[in-house]
Amino acid sequence: MLTVCQSDMVNALGRSQNTITTRVRGLEYSHGQNGARLYRLADVLPTIKPKERQHVPALFELADDDGEELWVGDNAVPRARRLEGWLKGGQVERLFGARVAFTNALAASVQSSVLFEHLEALRLKLILTDPVLKWTVLGDGDALPPFEQWAVPYAITNARYENLNEKEAA
């Protein structure tokens, strides 16, 4: 999982500490070393304004990676929807391509319908994994996972009943 702290955002985006603090208010965080608040990069991206988009690759470079690239965490559907709403043009297309590749790989790997009960949520949440996030946002082809081996572990890790109708909390 990729995470950034507030000073990463200050450095990458060139905004003041106060601006950043205001923006990340309400986002979930964990505590890193020396107490810094670590935010998931996937949650931070939707707070980035159009003029700052050029700095997004710098933010990816500053991000810490804990090596977890399957589990997308709790409360994932609204977080995924928020991020998806932030995507533009080619990013939307790349995400669509990743979803198709994932669905095909899953269909080729399992015979029963158990995981497919969760397909809609799994497709939605795909953007929250680091490999798909890097591919979608940066167009980094090297980041793409080998879906034929990756689809089942991802689906098993993240399959759960999600409320897909819930409106995002304001």
Partner 1 sequence: MDDGENFRGIVASDDKLKARWEAVSDKIMSDASRLLGVELSRVDVVAMPSARIATLTDAALSESYLDEIKQLEAALEQVRKNEMREALESGEEEAHAELNRLSPTERMSKARELGLTGAAPATEPSSIADEAVLLKRLLTLPPTERLSKGRAWGLIK
DSSP 3-state of 4: strand
Instruction: Provide the minimum distance between the beta carbon of 117 and partner 1 in the complex, in angstroms, as a whole number.
Output: 9
Closer residue to partner 1 in complex, CB, 25/161: 161
Burial class (CB in 10 A: 0-12, 13-18, 19+), 60: buried
In the bound state with partner 1, the residue whose beta carbon lies nearer, of 43 and 69, is 69
Distance (Å, rounded) from C-alpha 151 to C-alpha 147? 5
Task: Determine, following the binding rule CB under 8 A, whether residue 71 of this chain makes contact with partner 1.
Answer: yes
Map tokens 């490999």 to a residue. Answer: 131
CB of 53 to partner 1, least distance (A): 32
In the range 74-113, which residues lie near partner 1 by CB under 8 A?
110-113
Q: How far is the CB of 55 from partner 1 (least distance, A)?
A: 33
3-state secondary structure at position 28: coil
Member of 57, 149, 164, 168 binding partner 1 (CB under 8 A): 149
CA angle at 29 for the pair 25 and 34, rounded to the nearest 5°: 110
Least spacing, CB of residue 141 vs partner 1, in Å: 24
What is the footprint of partner 1 within residues 8-47 (CB under 8 A)?
none
What order of strands is seen across the sheet that includes strand 37-40?
29-31, 37-40, 2-4, 64-65
What is the binding site for partner 1 (CB under 8 A)?
A: 70-71, 110-115, 149, 152-153, 156-160
